[in-house]
Amino acid sequence: MAKSDFICKNCGKVKSERFFSFSTFHKYTCPNCKTICQDCVKRGFFGGTTCLKCGSKVIRYSWTGGKWVKD
């Protein structure tokens, strides 16, 4: 598995960066559910993001320059 791949703890899907992707690859960390994908995140109007499973506030990370960087 590549460094950019991870398994979402909520849905169990393996998420990976697309080779020809024009957007930034993101993952999120929930305090209860750990690493989750963007499909398992609810976005609010004012930039607040929460976990769909437990409702906790999540932290977003971007895959930039070959490493995960906190946004």
Per-residue pLDDT of the chain (71 residues; tens, 9 = 90+): 455 567 888 888 887 766 655 667 788 899 999 888 888 898 887 768 899 999 899 998 887 777 888 98
Cβ neighbour number for residue 10 with a 10 Å cutoff: 19
Would you call 19 helix, strand, or coil by DSSP?
Answer: coil
63, 56 contact by CB (below 8 A): no
pLDDT of res. 31: 93
pTM above 0.75, yes or no: no
pLDDT of res. 1: 42
Return d(Cα 39, Cα 59) in angstroms, integer: 14
